[in-house]
Amino acid sequence: MLKKLLKYDFLSLKRFLIPLYLLTPVLALFAGMLSWITNRMDNNVVTLGLKSIYLFSMVALILSVALLPVLLVVYYYRGLYSDTGYLTLLLPVKRRQLILSKLLCAFLSITAYLIVAFFSFGIAFFAGTAAILGRNPFYAYSLFFSVVGDFLTSTPLHPVLLAIEGLIYLLAWLLLEFSNYYLGVTLGAVVFQGKGKIWGGILFCIVTESAVSTVLSLIEFAFSGGILGIGGVDAFDSPLILQIFLIGGIVLRLAVAIGVTIFNIRMTEKKLNLG
């Protein structure tokens, strides 16, 4: 059943995902080209105009990246707690399958989008530097990857290990974020009735996210304090300490995401109010 639910979730999201997957690289290419042209021109008036357009296109690019998480949370709300809920919540499937399908769908969509965004940022941010160096716009990618490479070699950990663990950390963080948002939407629907569910959902998204992030930060802060107290600042040059930080962060986020999702499922099963 989960496979079927995923099929229809993706079929529904396809309408938003495909345009967004295209919009971000197009905006990035546009911004990158503008930056490249601006840096090769001498005319101050034209340059000022192009720089203004570049600024707007960069803002649009960043907004396009922020749009997908918002769309996915709205999709979750609409799929379960608006009129469509009168169909989905009546399917002869377990409520946990409904929630897991939406969570998995969000996770996979955003993971795919990260790849698109990663390559988009390469040209948007570094095409200007490529122009200054007298190279073609796509030299931006060489510069971008060398910056990424410098970052990966800046710690005592092996760069490949750091890249893999960093990626897993990012994915665990994303999973936790969506688990928090989805619990917030459910709490809004449980506590509030009618149109109030939308505002309740937004309120609880903020509350849930803030509460979970604060608790996690306090745990990590306390752990850092402990390390500093025992080993001093030099302790952070140790690959082992960094590994513990990274893997501990991943495990903590995954555990909290699972806990939050189980609570979300319980609330949907026991306290549902589709008023």
Partner 1 sequence: MSNAPVLSVTGLTKYYRAFKSLDDFSLTLPSGKIVALLGPNGSGKTTLLKIIAGLLTPNAGSVSILGCPPGEESRGSVAYLPDRIAVPGWMTPDQATSYFADFFPDFDRPKAEAMLADLGIPMDKPLGKLSKGMREKVQLALVMSRNAKLYLLDEPISGVDPAAREYILRTILSCHSPESTVLISTHLIADVEEVIDEFVFIRDGRLLCYDSAEEARKREGKSVDEMFREAFRC
Binding site for partner 1 (CB under 8 A): 1, 4, 8, 11-12, 15, 83-87, 89-95, 193, 270-275
Q: Which is nearer to partner 1, 1 or 247 (CB)?
A: 1
Question: Least Å distance between CB 121 and partner 1?
Answer: 31
Q: Which of 251, 102, 78, 272 is nearest to 169 (CA)?
A: 251
Question: Least Å distance between CB 54 and partner 1?
Answer: 36
Residues 117 and 25 sit within 8 Å (Cβ to Cβ) = no
Question: Least Å distance between CB 272 and partner 1?
Answer: 6
Looking up tokens 């600042």 gives 233
Length of the chain: 275
Distances from the Cα of 8 to the Cα of 12, 54, 178, 265, angstroms: 6, 38, 19, 20
Amino acid at 238: S
Q: Which is nearer to partner 1, 45 or 90 (CB)?
A: 90
Q: Which is nearer to partner 1, 95 or 102 (CB)?
A: 95
Question: Least Å distance between CB 203 and partner 1?
Answer: 17
Token output for 235 = 């302790």
Question: Least Å distance between CB 4 and partner 1?
Answer: 5
Q: Which is nearer to partner 1, 81 or 125 (CB)?
A: 81
Residues 266 and 256 sit within 8 Å (Cβ to Cβ) = no
Whole-angstrom distance, CA of residue 75 vs CA of residue 23: 19
Question: Least Å distance between CB 154 and partner 1?
Answer: 47
Q: Considering just the CA atoms, what is the radius of gyration of the chain in Å?
A: 22
Q: Which residues contact 4 (CB under 8 A, 6 or more apart)?
A: none
Q: Which is nearer to partner 1, 30 or 77 (CB)?
A: 77
Residues 16 and 109 sit within 8 Å (Cβ to Cβ) = no
Token output for 148 = 């990424």
Token output for 233 = 């600042």
Q: Which is nearer to partner 1, 33 or 198 (CB)?
A: 198
